[in-house]
Chains A and B, each alone.
Chain A
Amino acid sequence: MAPSQDAAGTVRPAAVTARGWGWRHAGRAKPAVHGLDLDIAPGERVLLLGPSGAGKSTLLHALAGVLGDITDDGEASDADESGSLLVDAAPPRSQRGRAGLMQQDPETQVVLSRVGDDVAFGAENLAVPREAIWPRVHEALADVGLSHLPLDHPTSALSGGQKQRLALAGILAMRPGLILLDEPTANLDPDGVLEVRDAVARSLDKTGATLVVVEHRVSVWKDLVDRIVVLQPGSAADPAVLLDGPPDRVLIEARTMLAAAGVWVPGYVPATRARAAVPAPGAGTLLLAAEQLAVSRERPRREGFRKIPPAPVQEGVAAQVRAGEALAITGPNGAGKSTFALTLAGLLEPVSGKVSATLDLSRGAGIDPYRWKAEQLISRVGTVFQEPEHQFVTGKVLDELLFGPRHLGHGADRVDELLERLRLTQLVDANPYTLSGGEKRRLSVATVLAASPQVLILDEPTFGQDANTWAELASFLSELLDAGTAVVSVTHDAEFTAALGGAELRMAAAEAVAP
């Protein structure tokens, strides 16, 4: 094993060399990457762009030495590797700890339950002597701006941005020469995005390590990287690298192409359909109202014979949902926005206060949406969850769409229209779990709308979405609003809020959250 650092523990930046490298995952017909030629010099900082399916994540996993399908004794299973991919002069797999990888989902970037232990984990695995580990842990925590936390602080109490910074600290403690970030901020709110970006910038300035980052949102990383590489889906005819050069040049040369591929190039807000006529605020028919609402995800706790109501994350909230009007719920992380929306949607029981449906919405089902039967709920209030997979209930796209209408016992006339409108017609026989991120998002919106609810509630609908899906979604929702549906969205996305118009309910942080 080639050590990542010299005796003093300073980092030796890594070089990357790919020559005709390709990879086909086991059980797939097409290679994920084909014919990649790429040189990255030690200490270079590279932003990797490209449409989904261009093999960006596959490349990062390969560089991290964790690309699956090869057994421990080095024998390939069904997967195919071609050409060569080297870190320094050796295959990544043979050099544990030379590269550190951060993935998208913060929950799975944390391994252990105490902050200090989690940072130490990688160094332990590399057999760093105990007396050298703790100084590294302290240094890494300071580098990512988490040194104010005690070492035994529970990792479960961290915010998403803090979890990603903790993961970065765990990587830094290994002193890797190559840092690989796979959409590290896709699941974070705007503050979290900056926290992580700045922590990465600081640690790179200090260690001089090589960086390869994959991310849709170019503006976040543009000033930090010194090179942008654009990949395209692998094929025999085209080289894997489409464009390669300094950020400014690539962004000028390829602006149109990148925007068309759904990349968020800086300063680009995709065009969306404007509303036909924005109604005067409060003019639409009142459908749903919240008064003095206190919300919590926790159910009442039982301690012996006593029932203790949970502490609300937010209280005294009032809101009105009106036909044909958009309502955006905004505010910092941890303010209880999603919890409020789920309570409004009749999915969580209020801790106190009430949610009441007007007669125009309830149509005989009663005033309290939480008491409605599931069938009554879906034809009145539809909720689209942040993670589309949570809502899939069948094994086929078409069945997903027919599920609601079948339950309600009415025709499927809206299904064809939705398939067409959300570009799912080609996918009717596909398994929902196998779709791309954007397709999953479109499907989850379509399935909820198939039941024709009068109120549509969306939880962070634009998180992690590329610019194309974003624009489609915003345009589609503006059509729905014109048709008289009420649209409530929990979002951090100011451009999305602006595209839909309507009222904004800003929630303040319920409690002091550590920075």
Chain B
Amino acid sequence: MRQELMLSGNRALLARANPLSKFAAVLLITGVLALSIDWVSASVALAFELLLFPLAGLTLSLLWQRGWPLILAAAVGGWSTSILAPDSGRILLDAGIWTMSEGSLQLGIGFLLRGFAIALPAVLLMSCTDPTDLADALAQKARLPHRFVLGTLAAMRLVGLMAEEWQTIGMARRARGVGARGSVGQRVKATLGQSFGLLVQAIRRASRLAVTMEARGFGGGSRTWARESTFSVLDLWVVSGGVLVAGLALFAALSAHTWNMVWLGS
């Protein structure tokens, strides 16, 4: 039930890079891709990403396991765009209200590839970044307030616990005669009650955790960091890689005259 986002024991090259540089690279690539719906920039970026993902310790099957909801969403988006977008060029498929034309198919493929190309770096980043390292980088390098960063990190651990708690409360309530099955109204009511129960438990746990943290001296002015968040040559490569992929995608689309700013329409 509790599936860690990061692959445990990931020793891949990208897992050793600083989370901030990885984040910057991902931001660059997805930023460029978000600007245009065209298949050239998307496929160039996607090709590079597929070449790079072994560096994050991922394999195709792991990628599918972790990223399938995003991959399916991109596929559905591509499919619906190709049948619903305004037609242009030759009609390829005509099923009454649904038609697919050369123009709409192109747009649909662009949408699909773009979806993949944007989703993949996110999956990549998550699988090779430990949340604790990310917090270290955010507090030490990006200079975010440590109270906020560490508080969020500790709270995130509780989220996993709450998922288990949700299941337990569901069972405990069934044992009291509150059915989670039945009509829509009954289900909504049951879910609301269960949410309240979870909220109570979440507050209890959170306040106990807060006492634990305070008792360990948290919340004072200055603190030291047992783990130093550092930048290395690898990070230079990661950021340059991001710039390169984003730049090449942009360059390819401009030279192929397919660059198509989203807000300018098609």
Interface residues of A (CB under 8 A from B): 61, 64-66, 96-97, 99-101, 103, 105, 107-114, 116-117, 120-130, 133-134, 137, 154, 156, 167, 170-171, 174, 297-299, 303-304, 342, 345, 347-348, 373-375, 377-378, 382-385, 387, 389-393, 403-404, 407-408, 433, 447-448, 451
Contacts and interface: CB of A to CB of B under 8 A. Distances in A.
Interface in B214-248: 214-220, 222-228
Given A113-B157, A390-B197, 14 more contacts: A61-B211, A96-B217, A111-B216, A112-B132, A123-B224, A124-B225, A127-B224, A137-B226, A303-B65, A304-B68, A385-B168, A393-B176, A403-B176, A433-B200
A105 B208 contact: yes
B103 interface: no
B224 A377 contact: no
A43 to B, nearest CB: 21
A130 B153 CA distance: 20
B84 to A, nearest CB: 25
Interface centre among B180, B201, B204, B211, by most chain A C-beta atoms within 10 angstroms, is: B211
B229 to A, nearest CB: 12
Q: Which 4 A/B pairs are nearest by Cβ-Cβ distance?
A: A374-B179, A125-B217, A122-B216, A390-B172
Contacts of A127: 220, 222-224
A393 B178 contact: yes
A156 B2 contact: yes
B154 interface: yes
A170 B200 contact: no
10 contacts: A113-B132, A125-B219, A154-B8, A167-B212, A303-B64, A304-B68, A374-B181, A387-B168, A390-B197, A393-B193
A404 B176 contact: yes
A304 B216 contact: no
A304 B64 contact: yes
A99 B200 CA distance: 29
B126 to A, nearest CB: 15
A129 to B, nearest CB: 6
B51 interface: no
Given A103-B212, A108-B209, A374-B174, A125 B168 contact: no
Contacts of B152: none
Nearest to A95: B217
Contacts of B193: 393
Contacts of B64: 303-304
A404 B177 contact: yes
Contacts of A110: 157
Interface centre among B167, B169, B171, B220, by most chain A C-beta atoms within 10 angstroms, is: B171
Given A103-B208, A108-B212, A378-B177, A121 B218 contact: yes
Contact of B179 (A96, A116, A125, A373): A373
Nearest to B9: A152
A119 to B, nearest CB: 9
B224 A124 contact: yes
Nearest to A384: B175
Nearest to A173: B216
B174 A448 contact: no
Contact of A66 (B4, B68, B201, B215): B215
A304 B65 contact: yes
B1 interface: yes
Interface centre among B131, B167, B180, B193, by most chain A C-beta atoms within 10 angstroms, is: B167
Interface string B186-205: 00000001000100110011
B216 A451 contact: no
B211 A389 contact: no
Contacts of B174: 347, 374, 377
A429 B131 CA distance: 46
Given A297-B167, A390-B197, A111 B176 contact: no
A61 B211 CA distance: 9
A107 B179 contact: no
Contacts of A116: 226
B215 A298 contact: no
B175 A378 contact: yes
B173 interface: yes
Contacts of B173: 390-391, 393
Nearest to A117: B132
A461 to B, nearest CB: 14
A369 to B, nearest CB: 11
Nearest to A391: B172
Contacts of A171: 216
B154 A66 contact: no
A384 B175 CA distance: 8
A99 B214 CA distance: 11
Nearest to B167: A297
Contacts of A113: 131-132, 157
Contact of B212 (A96, A109, A134, A174): A109
B161 interface: yes
A121 B220 CA distance: 13
Given A110-B157, A303-B65, A391 B175 contact: yes
A124 B212 CA distance: 15
A301 to B, nearest CB: 8
